[in-house]
Amino acid sequence: KRVFSRKRTLMKFPFDPSWTLFLDRDGVINKRIMGGYVSSPEEFHFEKGVPEAIAIFRKHFKYIVVITNQQCIAKNIVTIRNLREIHRYMQGKLLEQGSFVDAVYFASELASDPKNTRKPKPFLALEAKKDFPDIDFNKSLMVGDTDSDIQFGENLGMKTALIRTEEKTNRKADWQFDSLLDLALELKKKI
């Protein structure tokens, strides 16, 4: 009796250097403050292995784009200036390790705002495509730790990978990993 596995592996996935990697921030790149927000560079701490992971991704993806919902701005907890300082700090730390991300896009509105641009709406990806017109969403991988991250990727025709955290999720991603580094190491083996 033959048994066929339905499990999708990265080995069967045709990544090539024209692909774009979309990354969520909190819980994927940096430690999420559950019930709170990263409000200064001093509160920004990479998840284990993230600089190494992004260095690996740099060899396999044309663009690496961070997209993040940051309603802390609309709540007046963090200013846009503070958020940009946090992202400059993140980029600086990545550069120290020989890596970088191409751009960071954020949605600052409240989730309850009917005109918000937050994930899972496509606005942040469309902004990235304006800046990098050769991005092809069908040749993109969205990595996140929440249902809205996975739905965002699905809505745009991207492949999706879930980073398992304490965040409860219901959506099925194409792949699941315990960390961004685990995904990067698996990708490195397969390509």
Neighbours of 119 (CB within 10 A): 26
Q: Residue 26 catalytic?
A: yes
Q: List C-alpha distances in Å: 16 to 12, 84, 140, 177, 183.
A: 12, 31, 10, 20, 16
Q: Residue 24 catalytic?
A: yes
Structure tokens at 169: 């999720």
Q: Which of 26, 145, 149, 174 is catalytic?
A: 26
Q: Residue 69 is inside which H or E element, if any?
A: strand 63-69
Question: Which residues 6+ apart lie within 8 Å of 23 measured at CB?
Answer: 29, 64, 65, 66, 67, 101, 143, 144, 180
Structure tokens at 33: 């403050």
Decide: 101 and 64 in contact? Cβ < 8 Å. Answer: yes
Residues involved in catalysis? 24, 26
